């Protein structure tokens, strides 16, 4: 390495040399990858495996660990290498099979009855696939009823939900038996061979294993690692960035035991942004706080600049930002591989439902008309879909489709819109937080202020730590007042009313400024892939001002 480790990094390196299991808690931008590279230098000939979260991370790690004894792989690449030869043809041939034929093969020849309603074969087959996906993330040996998701849109009672789960699980088990049969004909997904790999209890031929993003690990992978003998296991991650629990991931930072080491010195941003991050860490009661570099950074509202990165809580919020950028004449891109395509499919599904009364998209496949969706979002269960419906009703599904189609590749865009889930691991010089983050509510009758969930606070922490030079907190600019209101309940009512009024006022200021083309400054220093870069240069400024849900198909 061309530079010396920090004191925190050196302590972790010494712990690694001792040979016991470790936990490395690495705050946002604190040099996690460089620390692991120091581990490679200290390995002294021992063979190591770096388990990457996805393929792109693995490819980047290949470069970092080149010339060392560490090999970077994903769980999928390890599993594929041990794929039974009699099953490989199922992926090689990439056979297509109509959903109707799949249902027929499973013996699903009619809609199923649950309570007083009929659940279509199309919905049942979607639930079968989702059940198999859930099974393939667990350490379980077989499919159980509890793995079957129950669509809220069906408005089922407890007994009816259990009945639906029993019926769907029966078909999911039949599907799995076909999957593992050499002559099975049903579609074979990549997650299936990872599950088969885990069930085979594999032995990994490495002296030590580095598990990256351990806070968002699948139980399946943890089971594989726990079954290793005489292998040093190192969990690496940030438990305050555990934002994938909704898809079955678990926080496995403590899975291996051993000594814990913290990395708190961020190399991404300066003190002002670190202070903003630490407010969220305070609310989370996290054991770690981040320290900013000795470089200028700023946190305040900006009205006369186009942010390089705009971060949203939901896909609905992201599409609203895309439409807004188009209306202002700003070239916009959407971050994430296939993310624009997925948003297009979601908007197209709304259009299909309006025009032909059905769609196969999982957000809407339980509805038979757009009017039924509009009625559903009036119920508490439909709250997550309400932003989607409002957006479609305001702009029209066809206009939303056109807006997404008009986006440019992220590396050619003046501004890049992203959900926080997609933005994890990325960074931009100038970040604005979108307004689709809800302000915690206040109950006038009970006098209670809403307690944010840990998941919501972790999402906010990830969002604010994507900024390198300047953060416009916008949709999260109420956090300090919220913290004060939690400590002083008598301020709770005023907090909520003032936060709502402040958001409305800030939105008006932004609209008034950015509708004037002369007020919009060109952004400079744009990095690759939509303006994010990995350098550490600073910019002048200081902390000031600022403080005085369509359905969330989340990113993956």
Q: Categorize the per-residue pLDDT at 542 as very low, low, confident or very high, splitting at 50, 70 and 90.
A: very low
Minimum mean pLDDT range among 105-119, 318-332, 488-502, 526-540? 526-540
Chain-centroid distance of CA 555 in Å reads: 5
Task: Check pLDDT > 80 for residue 552.
Answer: no
What's the sign of the alpha-carbon dihedral 24, 27, 29, 30?
Answer: negative
* Annotation: CATH topology of 271-334+417-531: Rossmann fold (3.40.50)
Long-range contacts formed by 452-457: CB under 8 A, 24+ apart = 452/283, 452/482, 454/284, 455/243, 455/245, 455/246, 457/280, 457/283, 457/284
* Beta carbons of 319 and 400 less than 8 angstroms apart: yes
Task: Check pLDDT > 50 for residue 288.
Answer: yes
What's the mean pLDDT in 297-311? 93
**What pLDDT sits at residue 273?**
98
Q: Categorize the per-residue pLDDT at 520 as very low, low, confident or very high, splitting at 50, 70 and 90.
A: low
Minimum mean pLDDT range among 110-119, 152-161, 228-237, 507-516? 507-516
One-character DSSP codes across 451-462: PPPHHHHHHHHH
**What is the chain's mean pLDDT, rounded?**
89
Burial track 286-296 (b if 16+ CB lie within 10 A, e otherwise): bebebebbebb
**What pLDDT sits at residue 455?**
97
**What residues contact 79, with CB distance under 8 A and at least 6 apart?**
193, 194, 196, 197, 198
Task: Check pLDDT > 70 for residue 424.
Answer: yes
* Beta carbons of 299 and 277 less than 8 angstroms apart: no
Percent of the chain whose pLDDT exceeds 90: 74
Phi-psi region of 164 (alpha: psi -120 to 50; beta: other; left: phi over 0): alpha
What's the mean pLDDT in 331-353? 89
Q: What is the pLDDT of residues 5-16, one digit of tens each?
A: 999 999 999 999
* Beta carbons of 453 and 408 less than 8 angstroms apart: no
Q: What is the pLDDT of residues 187-199, one digit of tens each?
A: 999 999 999 999 9
Minimum mean pLDDT range among 86-90, 166-170, 549-553? 549-553
Q: Categorize the per-residue pLDDT at 523 as very low, low, confident or very high, splitting at 50, 70 and 90.
A: very low
Secondary-structure class of domain 7-81+202-263 per CATH: alpha beta
**What pLDDT sits at residue 535?**
31
**What pLDDT sits at residue 145?**
98
Q: Categorize the per-residue pLDDT at 245 as very low, low, confident or very high, splitting at 50, 70 and 90.
A: very high
**What pLDDT sits at residue 534?**
28
Q: What is the pLDDT of residues 454-513, one digit of tens each?
A: 999 999 999 999 999 999 999 999 999 999 999 999 999 999 999 999 999 988 887 777
Tokens of 205: 């031929």
Task: Check pLDDT > 90 for residue 45.
Answer: no
Closest CA to 32 of 239, 240, 262, 231: 262
Q: What is the pLDDT of residues 368-390, one digit of tens each?
A: 899 999 988 888 778 888 888 99
Q: Categorize the per-residue pLDDT at 555 as very low, low, confident or very high, splitting at 50, 70 and 90.
A: very low
Percent of the chain whose pLDDT exceeds 70: 91
Task: Check pLDDT > 90 for residue 516.
Answer: no
Closest CA to 323 of 359, 353, 347: 347
Between 203 and 375, residue with greater pLDDT: 203
Q: Categorize the per-residue pLDDT at 1 as very low, low, confident or very high, splitting at 50, 70 and 90.
A: low
**What pLDDT sits at residue 221?**
97
**What pLDDT sits at residue 541?**
31
């Amino acid at each position: 390495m061309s530079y010396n480790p920090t004191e925190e990094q050196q302590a972790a390196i010494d712990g690694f040399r001792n040979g016991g299991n470790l936990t490395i808690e690495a705050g946002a931008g604190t040099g996690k990858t460089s620390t692991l590279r120091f581990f490679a230098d200290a390995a002294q000939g021992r063979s190591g495996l770096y388990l990457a979260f996805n393929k792109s991370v693995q490819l980047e790690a290949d470069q970092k660990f080149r010339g060392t004894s560490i090999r970077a792989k994903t769980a999928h690449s390890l599993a594929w290498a041990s794929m039974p030869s009699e099953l490989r043809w199922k992926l090689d041939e990439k056979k297509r099979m109509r959903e109707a034929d799949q249902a027929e093969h499973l013996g699903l020849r009619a809609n199923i009855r649950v309570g007083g309603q009929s659940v279509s074969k199309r919905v049942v087959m979607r639930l079968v696939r989702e059940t198999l996906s859930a099974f393939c993330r667990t350490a379980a040996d077989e499919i159980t009823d509890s793995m079957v998701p129950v669509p809220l849109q069906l408005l089922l009672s407890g007994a009816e939900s259990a009945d639906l789960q029993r019926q769907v699980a029966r078909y999911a088990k039949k599907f799995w038996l076909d999957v593992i049969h050499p002559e099975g004909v049903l579609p074979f997904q990549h997650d299936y061979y990872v599950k088969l790999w885990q069930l085979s209890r594999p032995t990994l031929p490495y002296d030590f294993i580095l598990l990256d993003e351990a806070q968002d690990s699948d139980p399946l992978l943890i089971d594989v690692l726990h079954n290793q003998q005489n292998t040093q296991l190192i969990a690496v991650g940030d438990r305050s960035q555990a934002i994938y629990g909704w898809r079955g991931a678990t926080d496995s930072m403590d899975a291996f035991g051993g000594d814990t080491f913290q990395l708190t010195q961020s190399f991404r941003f300066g003190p002002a942004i670190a202070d903003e991050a630490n407010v969220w860490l305070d609310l989370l009661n996290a054991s770690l706080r981040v320290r900013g570099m000795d470089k200028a950074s700023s946190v305040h509202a900006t009205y006369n600049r186009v942010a390089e990165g705009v971060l949203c809580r939901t896909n609905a919020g992201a599409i609203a930002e895309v439409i807004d950028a188009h209306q202002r004449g700003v070239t916009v891109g959407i971050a994430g591989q296939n993310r624009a395509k997925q948003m297009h499919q979601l908007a197209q599904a709304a259009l299909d439902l309006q025009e032909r009364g059905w769609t196969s998209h999982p957000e809407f496949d339980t509805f038979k008309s757009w009017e039924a969706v509009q009625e559903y979002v009036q119920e508490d269960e439909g709250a997550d879909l309400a932003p989607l419906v409002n957006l479609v009703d305001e702009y029209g599904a066809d206009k939303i489709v056109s807006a997404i189609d008009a986006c440019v590749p992220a590396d050619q865009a003046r501004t890049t819109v992203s959900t926080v889930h997609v933005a994890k691991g990325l960074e931009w010089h100038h970040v604005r937080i979108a307004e689709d983050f809800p302000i915690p509510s206040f109950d006038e009758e009970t006098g209670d202020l809403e307690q944010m969930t840990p998941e919501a606070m972790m999402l906010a922490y990830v969002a604010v730590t994507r900024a390198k030079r300047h953060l416009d907190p916008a949709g999260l600019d109420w956090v300090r007042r919220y913290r004060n209101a939690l400590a002083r309940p008598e301020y709770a009512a005023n907090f909520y009313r003032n936060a709502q009024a402040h958001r409305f006022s800030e939105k008006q200021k932004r609209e008034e400024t950015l509708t004037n083309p002369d007020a919009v400054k060109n952004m400079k220093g744009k990095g690759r892939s939509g303006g994010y870069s990995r350098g550490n240069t600073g910019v002048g400024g200081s902390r000031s001002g600022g403080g005085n849900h369509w359905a969330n198909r989340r990113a993956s």
